[in-house]
Amino acid sequence: MNPQNKSLKEEFLKLKNEVEPYIQNGRVKDKSHLQSYLYFAYYPLFSFVESILILCESGKFRSAESLLRSLIELHINVIYYQVADSDRRLAISVKKDLEEKITGIRGIRELIRKYPNLKSDNPKDLFSNEWLKEAEDWAEERRQAILRGNHLIKADNDLSLKDKAIKCDQAKMKDIEAGHFERMYHMIYRQLSPSTHLNIGGIQGFVDQKEGGNYLFSDGGQKDYYLMQEAIAICVALTKDLYENGVIVAKLPDTIGRLEKLLTRNLR
């Protein structure tokens, strides 16, 4: 790890230690839906970034790609929810999540109908009809509450991540280059899909063929420290969101400025 990346890591860990007390001692009772979303997004964000650092230091760059891909998705969602109609957009995403839960439950019910040997008579077991009915009723009750509380209809569907990126760019945010989010979607998120899904293309990413015909297996090269830099850049952006949206009521840490300077020097 070169000195600049080492400094990035050190400043990131400082930022984590500075922000963590505000989150651990915080509360969401009196916060808006957007503030609550940002509050709960904090922990997985910092956890994923720290995990990417550990993987990169261990030379496991291909594995780190999967975590960065998830961070890109989170980053685009965070911006999408902020730039317009926050409550409605969040509600539609919750609606989608509950509908996916219901679909999953019905899929398991169909599975045990098809394969009776998988069925359980224990009402507390996932593969019992009792548990599945209770879980579906729970999800449906909350789905109906979301529909009523936000005046949503069945046709109100969550956008794809690509369309969310387009909406983010259309918002023309201050100090953000035109096309920034769509480029992030196409050039990073999409490009990291193979290694995340380990499809044929993803598996090939771990393999290189030498001139003699022998195969060389690798987890990636040192140049892939860009994974760490991109992850920390996303972390800096969300941390600023926490302060700018009043989730944390305090002065923005000086660490943010130092990280931004380091990132400007490292990222093109």
* Mean pLDDT to the nearest integer, 155-177: 93
Structure tokens at 181: 């989010």
Q: How far is CA 59 from CA 56, 197, 207, 227, in A?
A: 5, 20, 15, 12
Closest to 68 in 3D by CA, of 196, 209, 215: 196
pLDDT digits (tens, 9 = 90+) for 5-58: 889 999 999 999 999 998 887 777 778 999 999 999 999 999 999 999 999 999
Mean pLDDT of 181-199: 93
Instruction: Say if residue 189 is exposed, middle or buried (CB neighbours under 10 Å; 0-12, 13-18, 19+).
Output: buried
Cβ neighbours for 8, distance < 8 A, ≥ 6 positions apart? 228, 229, 232, 259, 262, 263, 266
Contact call for residues 41 and 74 (beta carbons, < 8 A)? yes
State whether residue 207 is helix, strand or coil: strand
How far is residue 36 CA from its own chain's centroid?
Answer: 16
Locate 155 and state its tokens.
Answer: 């046709």
Give the separation between CA 181 and CA 122, rounded to whole angstroms.
48
